Structure 1
Amino acid sequence: MSQPLPSLPTRPSDGHKGTFGRVLIIGGSTGMSGAISLSGVSALRSGAGLVSLALPEPILPIVASYEPSYLCIPVPPDLNGRVSLEAQVVLDESIPKMDAAAIGPGLGRSENLNRIVAHLYQNAKLPMVFDADALNALADQKEILSQHTGPRILTPHPGEFARLIGSEISHIQKHRESLAVEFAARHEVILVLKGAGTIVTDGKRTRVNETGNAGMGTGGTGDILTGIIASLLGQKMLPLEAAQLGAYLHGLAGDLAAEEFTQRGMIASDLLKTIPDAWRIMQAEDTANLTR
């Protein structure tokens, strides 16, 4: 990072799962059950006390069998196995019980999902991460981007960001930092523009991430970042700091995975294995900084 990292979230010796945050991740659809599973495990590996996944009922057996440590909240599916509009009732009941939430991994696209994303973006008071198809839903209704009641972190790759601002990827890649800063300032959000040198900005303060490698250009790594940032939000980190620390941890886990599996051979789930080692390195650095 171009500036020092935020301190790691505290882990009091008498803490319990309520202390370390309740996180809800909304997503998944028929054929895309892996994305929300990766997000759920990465949130747990990043220190969340309790992680719940709200997902269409037909894919619940697949997602639940991937990892026993998270909870699964089944919601009514539409005819294509995506989250249906009727799921809004379940989501509205669940969100007030949470400390942070994320939406997007494996979500899919539909008009009703656009309505759900808009409802949550505009009305949920808790900190939320919007990724993947939730970003595409926002791109379809750009007029609401400044209409939010709680902290919002958007984590687009260049293609998703191009749709959000109505531009070309080539233009974005030439002006990554200035466009990211302008967007975050205009809409009062935290923007995490992924890519080589991921940019994290709230429009006033900007960080350029120094960890990560080209081996992370594989399906599912973005879903892992979503879970990490949501987890840190649930642990009461400030949104910009959660995004900054999350991007660094994500990239460091990717660097460790590349050392073990090579950039060519690594896959997204390898990061789930290296996140604990990344935390160990960061904890040592954090402790050293505190004792200086």
Structure 2
Amino acid sequence: MKRIHLLFLVSVLIFIKSFSQNKPVLYDFTEVPQVLMLNPGADVTYKWHVGVPAFSGISVTAGVKGFKVTDLFANDGIDINTKLEKLIFSRTPNDHVYINQQIELINAGIRLPNDKDYISFGFYEEFNLIAYYPKDLAIFGFEGNKEIGRVFNAESFKFKTDLVGVLHIGIDRRFNEKFNAGARFKIYSSAAEVKSLHNSGLFFTTQGVDNIYRHTLQDINLSVQSAGLFNGTDFDEKFYKKLSNKLFLGSNLGVGFDFGLTYKPNEQVKVTASVQDLGFIKYSKMVTSISAKGSYVTEGVKLQTPIISGINYFQQIIDGVEQAI
């Protein structure tokens, strides 16, 4: 089983707020060499640079859209259960959590004798996570299905996380005093990826015919895909021991490119632009997909009368769901 993912990230910084940059605070801050990781065409003047392994480039970006910690824990005299209920019901499926973490293990560069070209190279580890708020599932977990007829939708359940190692080399050329352009070539080594996207399906409770309530799972289509974590259905117990090998050209591989430029028509105006991670990763090793599809209706356990010893009524329900979905 093989999967190919396209990665495309465009970042143009002309007073536009964007989450495209992993380290936006460094964008066009040419005093530090890491600026070349954001814009390979930055206007830099270094002769050479060498980073301290694992210390010169550590970054963590995290954010939560639609939620503040004070919404829940502020000392405002409101009961925390009331605030939790308000928080659960007021959020939308577009609210999400985002985490990006990078550690540079190697980062170095040198200017060539022609004094126009600056070569930089290195290796870094990167972790990404984005998870959207599954509103209907959160409400169901908070108050159950006490509201008869309410429909719970699984569509909002979606997340993606990955851990990759990136080996890279780039060139930054100064064509003249006004214009710089550069490019960077990357080799991706994905140690692990887990994602669940494009889910669908409904769950609702109505008045029953043979029992008090009827519970319905309708058109369920749930799936989770992973790479690098499982041998078949078993978790790779040696994953952590093999992590360094997986990150450095040892697992699912891919290639990518960064492009960037800097244009200064005069002393008062500067225009910069960059395209990052234009490329793909080919997933062909330790690829696993788990899915559940189908529909199921139950009105609860039907007891045999007289009650027969040894019958596992709960297992009958489980078996029925597994056969249908």
TM-score (norm 2): 0.23
- Structure with bigger strand share is 2
TM-score (norm 1): 0.25
- Structure with bigger helix share is 1
Instruction: Give the greater-gyration-radius structure (CA).
Output: 2
